[in-house]
């Protein structure tokens, strides 16, 4: 799993298998779970469509305010998150970024 960023009590992540999916997306995992994997994901957010920025929720267990916070952070840091995703898919090691 590639941990991209930390926002309050959430980790934004991608999984190597996601490289083969049609649309690029980010998994939102609630921090503090011992096993941060797909089963602990609280939201899946599409971040592009046909290579263009298009941020939308695929599904979510978040509150409306949590969704707004995370969507705004993804929008603001979209280019950097995409670069980090590219690095994860290329097998590069990345450090997790704290987003305020």
pLDDT digits (tens, 9 = 90+) for 20-71: 888 999 999 988 755 544 557 899 999 999 989 999 999 999 999 999 999 9
Sheet holding 52-60, edge to edge: 52-60, 41-49, 25-30, 10-14, 2-7, 97-99
- Considering Cα of 51, then 12, then 81, then 19, what sign does the dihedral take? negative
User: Which tokens go with 81?
Assistant: 């998150």
Enumerate the domain spans of the chain. Answer: 2-94
pTM for the model stands at: 0.86
| Each residue's pLDDT tens digit, 7-19 | 888 999 998 788 8
Q: What 3-state class would DSSP assign to 60?
A: strand
The pLDDT assigned to 42 comes to 93
């Amino acid at each position: 799993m590639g941990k991209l960023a930390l926002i309050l009590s959430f980790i934004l992540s991608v999984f190597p298998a996601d490289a083969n999916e049609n649309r690029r997306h980010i998994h939102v995992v609630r921090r503090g779970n011992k096993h941060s994997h797909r089963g602990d994901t609280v939201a899946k957010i599409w971040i592009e469509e046909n290579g263009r920025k298009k941020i939308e929720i695929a599904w979510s267990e978040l509150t409306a305010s949590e969704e707004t916070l995370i969507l705004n952070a993804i929008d603001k840091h979209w280019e950097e998150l995409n670069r980090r995703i590219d690095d994860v898919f290329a097998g590069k090691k990345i450090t997790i970024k704290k987003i305020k």
